Chains A and B, each alone.
Chain A
Amino acid sequence: MSNSKESLPPIPNMPTTPERIIQERGVDATKEKEKLSPEQLEARVQELMDLSAARAEASKHVRESWGGLTKDEREELKKEEGQNTGAVAAQFDALKVDPELAEFSENVLAEYDQRIQELGSNPKVIEAYGERFEGMKDALAKVLEYEHIQKELDAITSSEQKLRLMYEKVGRSPGPIERTKLTDLAKRKEELQKEISGFELDPASIDMLRRREVRGMQRDLERYNFAETESRTELIREVLPDLLHGAPILFQGETGSGKTQLAKYISHRFLGHEVSPISISEQIKESQIMGRVTLKEGATDFLYSEMVKSMKEGRPVIMDEINLMPHEFQGILNEIFQLRIGSTWKHPSTGESIKVAPGFVIFATANLKSERYKQRYELDVATLRRFIGGAGAREIHYLDLGKKSKEGEYIAPETLKILASVLADRNGNIIWSEQESPQKLDELKRFVGACRKIQEDFTLSVREGSEDSLSRGDKLAFKELVITLKDQIEIMKAWKASGFAEPLESIVLREFFRKAEISGRAAKDRENMVKVFMANKFFKDTDPEDFNIQGLSSKTVRQWQGKE
């Protein structure tokens, strides 16, 4: 447990990208003595900044496609190997890099280098660039210090929480030595809180902090397919201490609200293991939970299930759609749901006493279903109680569901935050020009507004079930199709890949409506979605045929578009 102040290592002095390129390629003599006005100088420094940032991203992409190696490193390897075995060439062949794409990427990098060399050859430009870069390093040092204090504060808060829970669970008060330790923790926490509140941040550091936040979300999305936003962080903070003690948790919510992904993220990031899935269905057998007898070298042997193995080895498990499990079966699990780390459980078939290893925890998910199916899908009360007595039975809804501004307007800050990180490059920038950014931002907000409306109405459809009750007001009924955050992310990725040249509505049509064509299923849902998008100023001129929705006539679409 952290209760001592740590210091940060200094930021190393590495050559900047232009310095490195000039070292490698030398100075371009034709550019060296060019006279520049202050405006020209500023423009060139800015271009050099942008190019250096973009080159780093392009270069990373190329390196990744070659197994992490740069062109020079690849050539060096080939040279070292000579004509001997051909193993290196075979290794590269196995990477299956498209030669056309590889050539394109290498040429692009060479062009970046050439332009950086041209710009960096002017000593005034490189000097001004260096000054700006040093300024950024100063801001970075400040930001790292701020983040460091914040991390230490988070760690101490979590330690305090964990200890409090431990004393609660064992039902005893801390002794004198423990009290001293707890007081030290509290003192350090107070110190850190003071440091954070007195920390001097300037606009440049705040800009960098925000960019790093975007980058952090990008990394999390790449690694965990999940990015934490405020509401999820809050939830994790609340449930984590119980989960660390092995108490089970149930996430209930609409389809695609991110329940499973949240469980996977918590397991991987905070419990240190990827979660093992336990498959659940109406036909589940006891052997899937306990294990089964098998033959091994002519003798019978007992093969433990994934659940039991995870319990022994200290890995988290996930039981998706636990409410599909027959009620009589849930009883078998109730004993397991009461186990905590360190408890001993006697296996009913083998009689083995199994000690629950640290790291074991059960995540369960349940889709919220409509009234019509409620009986069939409702969880056994006794089972539900096990979760409530554990880390909780928590409802996980779509991000920003029902969120409004002080002025009463619907807003989607957390969704926008995630989508912004998808649209941004590694430096936290989106390649929208100053002229086009208001229009692109408007497109994005209208898109998120439409998705939010679909999610709101879908949630209401699930809760209320009956279509008749939904025909009131401006609510639309959605029976099975909804546009999830994952769908929105995919649409954003496609938009970004088009260089934002394609209108967002074309991407929505291609990436969502076409992909959601499942032999006429959910035609009514897709029709309603078109309506919602049109209400958000999408598809004003889309050809009715392009929607390809069974039963949706061209005339109706044209009427919605106000053309008939």
Chain B
Amino acid sequence: MPFEAYKIYEEYEPDKYKTSTQKKVEQALSSAKKEGLIPERKEASIEFEEAREIFGKDFLGPESAEATFGVELSQEELEQIEDIPFSREELEQAKQLGMMLVLRVPRIGKEKNAKSFSINSVREAFKDDDKLGDPKKKKSNIFYDQDWYDNESFATQDTPSLGWGLVMKEVLQESRSKNWDEQEEALKAWAKENNIDPAKVRRRKPIEIIYDTLLYYGTNKESLLENSYDWSGVQSSGGNFVFVGLFDSGGLFVGNVPRGYTLSNLGVCPSR
């Protein structure tokens, strides 16, 4: 199959053409908003406690980040994350869909020992031992022993941005055994099915997959992505798309394959 030239720049024109389904969803949302069925975000922002109540153990807030990565938020940072950018309805729907609410912080360690949260810095921090999980069921490694990505920019430079994210805890069933482009369609279809703007649904970056997975493991002593891989939208220097997962006793595995590949356990976790 040849490559469609417009795919080179399509991402920069997301609103240029819309399918009738997209338009209908937008119209429905806009009239619902006008009729007051969807409250404005400002009014809808909810307190941490309410979010914690909705998500239970799938609420990973500042305490989780501190306990897992030893990071303390400054007053300014706390103010920045004070408003969770999702309405109560959105959070309730997300919980129903099997998502978790994650606070991402771009640092690891406290005070003088604080470092930027890159894949390499977190590998360094957890290289000796599994300090995160249940002491009785320790993994032999947090990261599977690999060196191919030592110098890749996604491992050396990328850090998560400070803020809240909603993430599906497991890969979408319908995204497995699909190539990268087919998974994009699966993501859009999932969004439409759940009345979520497809433009707001995205893949996670490798750094976010690692951050979220370790945060969940550190908080709940349970492994996500134990038998599957989450395929990111980030390319390795060789041009393949990077995936992360298989977080079993051997540790998190980071790999890369061309976009045309399919694997039964290579899927995608919708994220917002």
Seen from chain A, the residues whose Cβ lies within 8 Å of a Cβ on chain B are 46, 50, 197-203, 206-207, 209-211, 213-214, 411, 413, 416-417, 419-421, 423-425, 428-432, 434-435, 437-442, 444, 537
Q: B13, A207: Cβ atoms under 8 Å?
A: no
Interface segment among B105-113, B126-134, B166-174, B232-240: the answer is B232-240
List the B residue with the shortest CB-CB distance to A203: B19
Q: B6, A416: Cβ atoms under 8 Å?
A: no
B193 within 8 A of A: no
Seen from chain B, the residues whose Cβ lies within 8 Å of a Cβ on chain A are 1-6, 8-10, 12-13, 17-20, 23, 179, 235, 237-241, 258-260
Q: A420, B20: Cβ atoms under 8 Å?
A: no
Residues on the A chain within 8 Å of B5, using CB: 211, 214, 420-421, 423-424, 428-430
Q: A197, B19: Cβ atoms under 8 Å?
A: no
List the B residue with the shortest CB-CB distance to A207: B4
Q: B9, A537: Cβ atoms under 8 Å?
A: no
Q: B8, A420: Cβ atoms under 8 Å?
A: yes
Beyond the given A420-B9, A430-B5, please list 17 additional residue pairs across the A-B interface where CB-CB is below 8 A: A46-B1, A198-B23, A201-B20, A202-B19, A202-B20, A211-B4, A213-B6, A413-B9, A420-B8, A428-B5, A429-B5, A434-B3, A437-B3, A439-B238, A439-B239, A440-B3, A440-B239
Q: A442, B1: Cβ atoms under 8 Å?
A: no
A190, B16: Cα distance in complex, Å? 19
List the B residue with the shortest CB-CB distance to A50: B2
Contact of B258 among A424, A428, A431, A435 (CB under 8 A): A435
Residues on the B chain within 8 Å of A429, using CB: 2-5
A431, B5: Cα distance in complex, Å? 9
Residues on the A chain within 8 Å of B3, using CB: 429-432, 434, 437, 440-441
Q: A416, B4: Cβ atoms under 8 Å?
A: no
Q: B260, A416: Cβ atoms under 8 Å?
A: no
Q: Which 10 A-B pairs have the closest CB atoms?
A: A439-B239, A413-B12, A424-B5, A429-B2, A210-B6, A434-B260, A200-B20, A438-B239, A420-B8, A420-B5
A283, B260: Cα distance in complex, Å? 63
A57, B30: Cα distance in complex, Å? 46
Contact of B6 among A199, A202, A214, A419 (CB under 8 A): A214
Q: B12, A411: Cβ atoms under 8 Å?
A: yes
A442, B259: Cα distance in complex, Å? 13
A191 CB to nearest B CB, Å: 18
Residues on the A chain within 8 Å of B259, using CB: 434, 437-438
A369, B19: Cα distance in complex, Å? 47
Residues on the B chain within 8 Å of A214, using CB: 5-6
B189 CB to nearest A CB, Å: 11
List the A residue with the shortest CB-CB distance to B17: A206
A447 CB to nearest B CB, Å: 12
Q: B9, A417: Cβ atoms under 8 Å?
A: yes
Contact of A210 among B2, B4, B20, B238 (CB under 8 A): B4
Residues on the B chain within 8 Å of A537, using CB: 237
A257, B259: Cα distance in complex, Å? 36
Interface centre among B4, B238, B241, B259 (most CB of A within 10 A): B4
A210, B8: Cα distance in complex, Å? 11
B51 CB to nearest A CB, Å: 25
List the A residue with the shortest CB-CB distance to B180: A438
Q: A442, B239: Cβ atoms under 8 Å?
A: yes
Residues on the B chain within 8 Å of A211, using CB: 4-6
Q: B23, A430: Cβ atoms under 8 Å?
A: no
Interface centre among A200, A411, A417, A437 (most CB of B within 10 A): A437
Q: A444, B8: Cβ atoms under 8 Å?
A: yes
- 27 A-B pairs with CB atoms under 8 Å apart are A50-B2, A199-B20, A201-B17, A201-B19, A201-B20, A202-B19, A206-B17, A413-B12, A416-B8, A416-B9, A417-B9, A420-B6, A420-B9, A421-B5, A423-B8, A429-B2, A429-B5, A430-B3, A431-B2, A432-B3, A434-B3, A434-B259, A437-B3, A438-B235, A441-B8, A441-B239, A442-B235
A196, B183: Cα distance in complex, Å? 30
Contact of A209 among B17, B240, B241, B260 (CB under 8 A): B17
Residues on the A chain within 8 Å of B17, using CB: 201, 206, 209-210
Residues on the B chain within 8 Å of A46, using CB: 1
Q: A435, B19: Cβ atoms under 8 Å?
A: no
Contact of A438 among B4, B13, B18, B241 (CB under 8 A): B241
B187 CB to nearest A CB, Å: 14
List the A residue with the shortest CB-CB distance to B237: A537
A217 CB to nearest B CB, Å: 10
A401 CB to nearest B CB, Å: 15
B18 CB to nearest A CB, Å: 7
B69 CB to nearest A CB, Å: 23
Residues on the A chain within 8 Å of B239, using CB: 438-442
A146 CB to nearest B CB, Å: 9
A109 CB to nearest B CB, Å: 20
Q: A202-B19, A203-B19 are in contact. Are A434 and B4 (CB under 8 A)?
A: no
Residues on the B chain within 8 Å of A441, using CB: 3, 8, 239
Residues on the A chain within 8 Å of B4, using CB: 207, 210-211, 428-430
Q: A434, B6: Cβ atoms under 8 Å?
A: no
Q: B8, A201: Cβ atoms under 8 Å?
A: no
Interface centre among A202, A206, A423, A444 (most CB of B within 10 A): A206
A446 CB to nearest B CB, Å: 10
List the B residue with the shortest CB-CB distance to A443: B239
List the A residue with the shortest CB-CB distance to B22: A201
A434, B240: Cα distance in complex, Å? 11
Residues on the A chain within 8 Å of B179, using CB: 434
Residues on the B chain within 8 Å of A430, using CB: 2-5
A197, B239: Cα distance in complex, Å? 38
A537, B239: Cα distance in complex, Å? 12
Residues on the B chain within 8 Å of A423, using CB: 5, 8
A492, B32: Cα distance in complex, Å? 48
